[in-house]
Amino acid sequence: MNVSQNQTMVVYKNGERLTSESALIVEEPLSIRIEGQPYAVVMRTPGDEIAHAAGFCLAEGLIESPEHIVTIGFCSEASANVATVTLTGEQKKKVTDLLARKGFVSQTSCGICGKELVKDLHQFTIPVQTTLHLAVDEALRCADRLPDCQPVHKQTRSAHAAMIFDKNSVLLAAAEDVGRHNALDKTIGKILMDGRIKTAAFGVMSSRLSYELIQKAARAGLELMIGVSRPTSLAVDLARSVNMTLACARGNELMVFCGEERLTASNLNTKG
């Protein structure tokens, strides 16, 4: 499995023209089929296909637990890049409307084009619990661990990463991908298939947080999401509506946009 490819490039620097080799991240399509029928095509970096498909299905509302999956597989023969999922009969009946949609574009992958209704933003998203209490310093320490989980980014400088922790700040899983939404799907899929999703408490991402990431995190029951740049306004609105804490970590600074009650800090000087 190749996640990067070497490419010759020309670099102009300080008045000089140089030729160099650069590692570029691989981007390939992954077709996700549900019950033998095409459901979505996502552009992603190869790897963790089973976890990716499982996390994607959870985010889409197609499943609620691994028990709703009868089989899940991946075929890469002849560059097919197809992940196939079959559901239990009972679960298939519950998601008939989703499976029957024509021209449906995934509600949680990058982009909002093709959505049938604005209310789809909140579809299958229920409020998360409030059980997490995390020190601000600990949140920042967890965010600082991102580079340790980014070997592909170190090589290519163009991969996003997602990490998921339990309430004791133990790292449960991490994944990288060219797409930030794919990275989160893969990470959620790992803990879902390992049976550890109920212990998941919060996530950290190497990107800004937009609405589709909040929707995926809420489906996984995460109480807190931390990004490395400021979230979109729609992400904050959605996070607030599902009782999620949303923050941005920058160096020694943690900006909290909603759900501050889950975070604790000592020796604070409160200003305006």
Partners of 54 in the β-ladder: none
What is d(CA 259, CA 160) in angstroms, rounded to the nearest whole number?
Answer: 25
What is d(CA 133, CA 223) in angstroms, rounded to the nearest whole number?
Answer: 10
The DSSP secondary-structure symbol of 171 reads E
Residues 6+ apart with CB under 8 A from 41: 29, 30, 31, 32
Q: For residue 97, give both structure tokens.
A: 């409307």
What is d(CA 77, CA 69) in angstroms, rounded to the nearest whole number?
Answer: 23
Burial 70-109 (b: 16+ CB within 10 A, else e): eebebeeeeeebbbbbbbeeebbeebeebeeeeebebbbb
What is d(CA 107, CA 219) in angstroms, rounded to the nearest whole number?
Answer: 13
What is d(CA 272, CA 270) in angstroms, rounded to the nearest whole number?
Answer: 7
Sign of the CA dihedral 133, 200, 119, 161?
Answer: positive
What is d(CA 239, CA 145) in angstroms, rounded to the nearest whole number?
Answer: 24
What is d(CA 56, CA 175) in angstroms, rounded to the nearest whole number?
Answer: 14
What is d(CA 196, CA 51) in angstroms, rounded to the nearest whole number?
Answer: 13
What is d(CA 58, CA 220) in angstroms, rounded to the nearest whole number?
Answer: 8
Catalogue the active-site residues: 110
